[in-house]
Amino acid sequence: MKKEMEEFLAYLRHERNASPHTISSYRIDLTQLACYLEGRKVELRAVDNVCLRGFLAELHQKNLSKSSAARKLAAIRSFFQFLLKKGWLEDNPAKAVATPKTDQHVPGFLSEDEMEKFLELPKEGDVLAVRDKAILELFYASGIRLGELVGINLEDLSLEEKMLRVRGKGKKERIVPFGRKAAESVAAYLRLRMMIPKKSLEEKALFLNYQGTRIAARSVERMMAKYIRRTSIRRKVSPHSLRHSFASHLLSRGADLRVIQELLGHESLATTQKYTHLDLKQLLDVYRKSHPRS
């Protein structure tokens, strides 16, 4: 199974443009499956839905959460679908295995007041503080994913038009607008970007780390955690929280859900709905102002 697994991971990396985090997770999930099959002396071609249910049942006995089990099953389905596409299997046994029902997880988000204060935390100073300000402003202004942000190149940015080209899942490109505040912060960073010593003069990444190479997703997460510690916010806030805040704030101010779907780069409207949050008071206000018989 090792050879097939490596080919599948290479396919994810080069053809599906999957993130390093996704590839790492899939490697762990499939390695667990390979160990399970090896322990029972089951060949890859002999795997059926009963075998896969047994694998998930064993993980359940080890207190694996439903959401983790669902993710592992999704990885296994994708793997067997790849083998089917290659002609190495005649069927995808994972399709007959039901996905464990999970509780709907609502991503964390910041209120408009909290976001305002948070964006003011990076103070003018060295180039890295100016960079941090630009990252946070652009994140919130565009609603892009963390992987999309760190993948931005200089050529993808148009400050004049306030538009950004990002490459999302599956190498799909989309154009995303951003506002004046983000444009000002990014322009301020670009004026100082040349001050960062670069390992290569040809470095095309928009956001650089202190070594002059493309900033890593983990570095952005650490940077955000550093600023959150300076606030009174005690709940978990991640780069994904800014994406959710972007969607929630647009919706609360009257934006159409399908417009938000396009901005976020979601294929399904159901996915977008998870990112939105309106309390009962907001819903009632919108209803009373909008419904002709209210």
**Is position 249 annotated as part of the catalytic site?**
no
Q: Half-sphere exposure of residue 275, counting CA atoms within 13 Å on the CB side?
A: 28
**Is position 13 annotated as part of the catalytic site?**
no
The active-site residue out of 26, 72, 275, 277 is 275
Cα(38)–Cα(43) distance, rounded to whole angstroms?
8
Burial annotation 2-23 (CB, 10 A radius, 16+ → b, else e): eebbeebbebbeeeebbbeebb
The active-site residue out of 165, 169, 174, 274 is 169
The active-site residue out of 72, 133, 193, 243 is 243
**Is position 169 annotated as part of the catalytic site?**
yes
The active-site residue out of 145, 193, 244, 249 is 145
**Is position 277 annotated as part of the catalytic site?**
no
Cα(93)–Cα(76) distance, rounded to whole angstroms?
9
**Is position 174 annotated as part of the catalytic site?**
no
Cα(204)–Cα(214) distance, rounded to whole angstroms?
8
Identify the helix (H) or strand (E) that includes residue 80.
helix 66-86
Report CA 226 to chain centroid distance, whole Å: 20
For residue 152, what are its two tokens?
């931005």
Dmax (CA) for the chain in angstroms is: 68
Strand partners, 165: 175
**Is position 275 annotated as part of the catalytic site?**
yes
Cα distances from 177 to residues 61, 261, 276, in angstroms, run 47, 14, 19
The active-site residue out of 193, 249, 266, 277 is 266
Cα(33)–Cα(27) distance, rounded to whole angstroms?
10
- Catalytic positions, written as ranges: 145, 169, 240, 243, 266, 275
